[in-house]
Amino acid sequence: MKEPWSIKTRSRSCAGTEIPFEDGQTIYAAIFPDPESSGYLRQDYSEEAWLQRSEENPPFSQWKTVYKKPTAEDKAETVVQEDPETLLRRLVEEEEEHTENARYILAVMLERQKLLRETDTQQLPTGILRVYEHRKTGDVYIIKDPQIPLSEVENVQQEIQELLDPKPIPETEPAEPAAEETPAESENDTSSDNSEVSENGTDEEE
Protein backbone atom coordinates (compact mmCIF):
# COMPACT_ATOMS: atom_id res chain seq x y z
CA MET A 1 0.00 0.00 0.00
CA LYS A 2 1.37 3.38 -1.02
CA GLU A 3 1.94 6.00 1.65
CA PRO A 4 0.23 9.41 1.29
CA TRP A 5 3.42 11.33 0.47
CA SER A 6 2.66 13.68 -2.37
CA ILE A 7 2.96 17.15 -3.87
CA LYS A 8 0.35 19.72 -2.86
CA THR A 9 0.00 22.64 -5.26
CA ARG A 10 -0.65 26.14 -3.93
CA SER A 11 -4.16 27.52 -4.53
CA ARG A 12 -4.73 30.76 -6.43
CA SER A 13 -7.70 31.83 -4.32
CA CYS A 14 -8.80 31.74 -0.69
CA ALA A 15 -10.49 28.53 0.44
CA GLY A 16 -12.79 30.52 2.73
CA THR A 17 -13.85 33.45 0.54
CA GLU A 18 -12.85 32.21 -2.96
CA ILE A 19 -11.31 35.65 -3.56
CA PRO A 20 -8.17 35.39 -5.76
CA PHE A 21 -4.90 36.11 -4.01
CA GLU A 22 -2.80 39.11 -4.98
CA ASP A 23 0.90 38.87 -5.75
CA GLY A 24 2.90 39.38 -2.54
CA GLN A 25 -0.10 38.80 -0.27
CA THR A 26 0.53 37.05 3.06
CA ILE A 27 -1.52 33.87 3.28
CA TYR A 28 -1.90 30.82 5.49
CA ALA A 29 -1.29 27.39 4.00
CA ALA A 30 -2.75 24.35 5.74
CA ILE A 31 -2.85 20.61 5.15
CA PHE A 32 -5.83 18.61 6.37
CA PRO A 33 -6.40 14.85 6.53
CA ASP A 34 -8.54 13.78 3.58
CA PRO A 35 -11.68 12.05 4.95
CA GLU A 36 -12.16 10.20 1.67
CA SER A 37 -8.67 8.70 1.48
CA SER A 38 -5.53 8.06 3.50
CA GLY A 39 -3.92 11.18 2.06
CA TYR A 40 -4.10 14.90 2.69
CA LEU A 41 -5.78 18.00 1.26
CA ARG A 42 -4.20 21.44 1.01
CA GLN A 43 -6.11 24.68 1.48
CA ASP A 44 -4.83 28.25 1.39
CA TYR A 45 -6.45 31.17 3.22
CA SER A 46 -6.12 34.93 3.45
CA GLU A 47 -5.13 36.14 6.91
CA GLU A 48 -8.66 37.39 7.61
CA ALA A 49 -10.33 34.16 6.51
CA TRP A 50 -7.85 32.05 8.49
CA LEU A 51 -8.58 33.89 11.73
CA GLN A 52 -12.32 33.48 11.18
CA ARG A 53 -12.34 29.77 10.26
CA SER A 54 -13.77 27.19 12.60
CA GLU A 55 -11.38 25.18 14.75
CA GLU A 56 -13.55 22.06 14.61
CA ASN A 57 -11.35 20.62 11.88
CA PRO A 58 -7.75 21.21 13.03
CA PRO A 59 -5.11 21.04 10.29
CA PHE A 60 -2.42 18.40 10.15
CA SER A 61 0.10 21.16 9.39
CA GLN A 62 -0.06 24.94 8.92
CA TRP A 63 2.31 27.83 8.18
CA LYS A 64 2.34 31.43 7.01
CA THR A 65 3.74 32.18 3.58
CA VAL A 66 3.65 34.76 0.79
CA TYR A 67 1.65 34.20 -2.38
CA LYS A 68 3.55 34.69 -5.61
CA LYS A 69 1.63 34.96 -8.83
CA PRO A 70 2.66 32.24 -11.30
CA THR A 71 4.58 33.44 -14.34
CA ALA A 72 5.24 31.95 -17.73
CA GLU A 73 8.65 30.82 -16.48
CA ASP A 74 6.97 28.67 -13.81
CA LYS A 75 5.20 26.56 -16.42
CA ALA A 76 6.56 23.17 -17.29
CA GLU A 77 9.64 23.36 -19.46
CA THR A 78 11.23 20.78 -21.65
CA VAL A 79 13.81 18.97 -19.55
CA VAL A 80 16.66 17.37 -21.42
CA GLN A 81 18.15 15.76 -18.34
CA GLU A 82 16.66 15.48 -14.87
CA ASP A 83 18.00 17.75 -12.15
CA PRO A 84 17.47 17.13 -8.41
CA GLU A 85 14.20 19.09 -8.38
CA THR A 86 12.56 17.30 -11.31
CA LEU A 87 13.87 13.96 -10.04
CA LEU A 88 12.32 14.56 -6.60
CA ARG A 89 8.99 15.50 -8.18
CA ARG A 90 8.99 12.34 -10.29
CA LEU A 91 9.91 10.05 -7.40
CA VAL A 92 7.27 11.59 -5.14
CA GLU A 93 4.61 11.21 -7.82
CA GLU A 94 5.60 7.58 -8.46
CA GLU A 95 5.59 6.80 -4.70
CA GLU A 96 7.78 3.70 -5.03
CA GLU A 97 8.79 2.33 -1.64
CA HIS A 98 12.37 1.59 -2.68
CA THR A 99 13.02 5.32 -3.46
CA GLU A 100 12.07 6.52 0.04
CA ASN A 101 15.70 7.17 1.06
CA ALA A 102 16.47 8.95 -2.21
CA ARG A 103 13.43 11.23 -1.84
CA TYR A 104 14.51 12.33 1.61
CA ILE A 105 18.14 13.01 0.60
CA LEU A 106 16.95 14.97 -2.46
CA ALA A 107 14.69 17.11 -0.26
CA VAL A 108 17.60 17.86 2.07
CA MET A 109 19.81 18.73 -0.91
CA LEU A 110 17.19 21.15 -2.28
CA GLU A 111 16.73 22.70 1.15
CA ARG A 112 20.46 23.41 1.33
CA GLN A 113 20.24 24.94 -2.14
CA LYS A 114 17.51 27.30 -0.83
CA LEU A 115 14.93 25.86 -3.28
CA LEU A 116 12.85 24.21 -0.55
CA ARG A 117 12.19 25.23 3.02
CA GLU A 118 11.00 22.95 5.79
CA THR A 119 7.74 24.33 7.19
CA ASP A 120 6.74 21.62 9.64
CA THR A 121 7.65 18.26 11.19
CA GLN A 122 5.08 15.76 12.41
CA GLN A 123 5.70 12.64 14.48
CA LEU A 124 3.34 9.82 13.49
CA PRO A 125 3.18 6.19 14.65
CA THR A 126 4.62 5.20 11.27
CA GLY A 127 7.54 7.66 11.47
CA ILE A 128 8.47 11.31 11.03
CA LEU A 129 6.87 13.40 8.28
CA ARG A 130 8.63 16.53 7.06
CA VAL A 131 6.74 19.18 5.12
CA TYR A 132 8.74 21.18 2.56
CA GLU A 133 7.52 24.19 0.57
CA HIS A 134 9.02 25.24 -2.75
CA ARG A 135 10.17 28.83 -2.24
CA LYS A 136 9.19 29.91 -5.75
CA THR A 137 6.10 27.91 -6.75
CA GLY A 138 4.68 27.26 -3.29
CA ASP A 139 4.26 23.55 -4.00
CA VAL A 140 4.47 21.39 -0.90
CA TYR A 141 6.28 18.07 -0.66
CA ILE A 142 5.35 15.69 2.16
CA ILE A 143 8.42 13.55 2.75
CA LYS A 144 8.91 10.72 5.22
CA ASP A 145 12.17 10.86 7.16
CA PRO A 146 13.51 7.29 6.90
CA GLN A 147 16.15 7.91 9.59
CA ILE A 148 18.99 6.82 7.30
CA PRO A 149 22.07 5.59 9.18
CA LEU A 150 25.16 7.68 8.50
CA SER A 151 26.89 4.60 7.09
CA GLU A 152 24.27 4.35 4.31
CA VAL A 153 24.15 8.01 3.26
CA GLU A 154 26.99 7.63 0.74
CA ASN A 155 25.22 4.69 -0.93
CA VAL A 156 22.02 6.71 -1.26
CA GLN A 157 23.94 9.64 -2.74
CA GLN A 158 25.48 7.27 -5.28
CA GLU A 159 22.01 5.98 -6.14
CA ILE A 160 20.83 9.55 -6.73
CA GLN A 161 23.84 10.29 -8.94
CA GLU A 162 23.03 7.25 -11.07
CA LEU A 163 19.42 8.41 -11.41
CA LEU A 164 20.52 11.91 -12.43
CA ASP A 165 23.18 10.74 -14.85
CA PRO A 166 22.30 7.25 -16.07
CA LYS A 167 25.06 5.65 -18.06
CA PRO A 168 24.00 4.43 -21.50
CA ILE A 169 24.19 0.72 -22.10
CA PRO A 170 27.13 0.12 -24.45
CA GLU A 171 26.16 -1.26 -27.80
CA THR A 172 27.73 -4.61 -28.59
CA GLU A 173 29.23 -4.95 -32.05
CA PRO A 174 27.97 -7.92 -34.05
CA ALA A 175 30.42 -10.79 -34.07
CA GLU A 176 32.30 -11.26 -37.31
CA PRO A 177 31.41 -14.49 -39.14
CA ALA A 178 34.04 -17.18 -38.79
CA ALA A 179 36.20 -17.70 -41.84
CA GLU A 180 35.34 -20.85 -43.80
CA GLU A 181 37.99 -23.49 -43.54
CA THR A 182 39.34 -24.83 -46.83
CA PRO A 183 40.13 -28.52 -46.96
CA ALA A 184 43.83 -29.26 -46.93
CA GLU A 185 45.25 -30.05 -50.28
CA SER A 186 46.20 -33.68 -50.66
CA GLU A 187 49.89 -34.37 -50.78
CA ASN A 188 49.26 -36.78 -53.65
CA ASP A 189 47.25 -34.31 -55.69
CA THR A 190 48.89 -35.68 -58.85
CA SER A 191 47.08 -38.94 -58.29
CA SER A 192 44.33 -37.53 -60.51
CA ASP A 193 46.46 -38.90 -63.33
CA ASN A 194 45.57 -42.56 -62.78
CA SER A 195 47.67 -43.98 -65.64
CA GLU A 196 50.37 -46.30 -64.42
CA VAL A 197 53.78 -45.99 -66.01
CA SER A 198 55.47 -49.25 -66.78
CA GLU A 199 59.06 -49.73 -65.64
CA ASN A 200 59.85 -50.64 -69.23
CA GLY A 201 58.21 -47.71 -70.80
CA THR A 202 59.13 -48.79 -74.41
CA ASP A 203 58.82 -52.15 -76.26
CA GLU A 204 62.15 -53.97 -76.94
CA GLU A 205 63.02 -54.52 -80.62
CA GLU A 206 63.48 -58.15 -81.58
Quote the domain boundaries for residue 80: 7-164
Average pLDDT of the residues in 163-186:
59
Confidence check: pLDDT of 203 > 80: no
Of the pLDDT bands very low, low, confident and very high (cuts 50, 70, 90), residue 205 is very low
Q: Where are the alpha helices (DSSP H) in the chain?
A: 47-52, 84-94, 100-112, 150-164
Q: Is residue 186 part of a domain?
A: no
Q: Is residue 28 part of a domain?
A: yes
- The Cα–Cα gap between 110 and 139 comes to 13
Q: Is residue 136 part of a domain?
A: yes
Q: Given this model, what pLDDT does residue 28 score?
A: 95
Q: Is residue 191 part of a domain?
A: no
Confidence check: pLDDT of 171 > 50: yes
Q: Is residue 132 part of a domain?
A: yes
**136-140, 156-160, 175-179, 197-201: least confidently modelled range:** 197-201
Q: Is residue 199 part of a domain?
A: no
**64-68, 151-155, 168-172: least confidently modelled range:** 168-172
How far, in Å, are 8, 94, 98, 114 from residue 61 at the CA level? 12, 23, 26, 21
Pairing of strands 127-134, 140-145: antiparallel
Q: Is residue 179 part of a domain?
A: no
Pairing of strands 26-33, 61-66: antiparallel
Q: Is residue 55 part of a domain?
A: yes
Average pLDDT of the residues in 157-165:
86
Share of the chain above pLDDT 70, in %: 72
Q: Which residue has the higher pLDDT, 87 or 203?
A: 87
**86-100, 116-130, 170-184: least confidently modelled range:** 170-184
Q: Given this model, what pLDDT does residue 55 score?
A: 79
How far is residue 124 CA from its own chain's centroid? 26
Of the pLDDT bands very low, low, confident and very high (cuts 50, 70, 90), residue 67 is very high
- How many domains does one find in the chain? 1
The letter for the amino acid at 192 is: S
Share of the chain above pLDDT 90, in %: 38
